[in-house]
Amino acid sequence: MSAPLQIRSIDPSRAAQLQRNQSNESKDPIDRVGREPDTFERTTTETHAAVGPAPETDAQGKPLTDDEQRELKQLRQRDQEVRTHEQAHVSGAGSLSRGGPNYTLKLGPDGKRYASGGHVDIDTSEGRTPQETIQKSAQIRRAALAPADPSSKDRQVAAKAARMEAKARQELAAESNTTDSAHKHDASIDTFA
């Protein structure tokens, strides 16, 4: 009776080499790597077809329990959501961004770190002029509301930017009224001179 067939996942180039060796060798009972001919490794494609994908493991290589696998799936999903959300802020912020996203990381049952939260620092100061402040506050609002699902903090930042814009518009209107008034006053002085 021959030994049971062992199936392992290996690099495809190594699998091709082993298959060439098997077909080219004589009927020697031991192959060049010290294994009996009926225990040759199979290609990755054959392995996955025969036994499916390799099970998830923890940092020590032990298979994860069903609960740990569910937790890992949730962590991976949350990680993707957080990274997509924060990248939307960076894209919306443009030149107002003060660096890239900052993440809060959580250690998963597989020993890897996954993003569970994050933030992007942006410049929310007023501009040097009311016009600059209006433009800047619009960009801050776009950055805050850029993700598909803005958080309550994102909405607060957007609201603060809207208030900053409204204040700048009032200042601009006041300047305009003051300038218009001064021109009318000058015109009336010239008229009566």
Say which residues have a Cβ less than 8 Å from residue 150's Cβ, sequence separation at least 6.
144, 158
**How does the average pLDDT of the chain come out, rounded?**
78
What pLDDT digit, counting tens, does each position of 35-92 carry?
A: 444 444 444 444 444 556 778 988 888 999 999 999 999 999 999 999 999 999 999 9
Residues near 82 by Cβ (< 8 Å), separated by ≥ 6? Answer: 103, 115, 116, 117, 118
Residues 139-159 as b or e (16 or more Cβ within 10 Å = b): bbbbbbbbbeebeeebeebbe
Of 94, 110, 190, which Cα lies nearest the Cα of 143?
Answer: 94
Q: Which two tokens stand for residue 166?
A: 């409204």
Q: pTM for the whole thing?
A: 0.64
Q: Output the CA angle 120-124-130, nearest 5 degrees.
A: 150
pLDDT digits (tens, 9 = 90+) for 92-119: 999 999 999 999 999 999 999 999 999 9
Burial 84-107 (b: 16+ CB within 10 A, else e): ebbbbbbebbeebbeeebebeeee
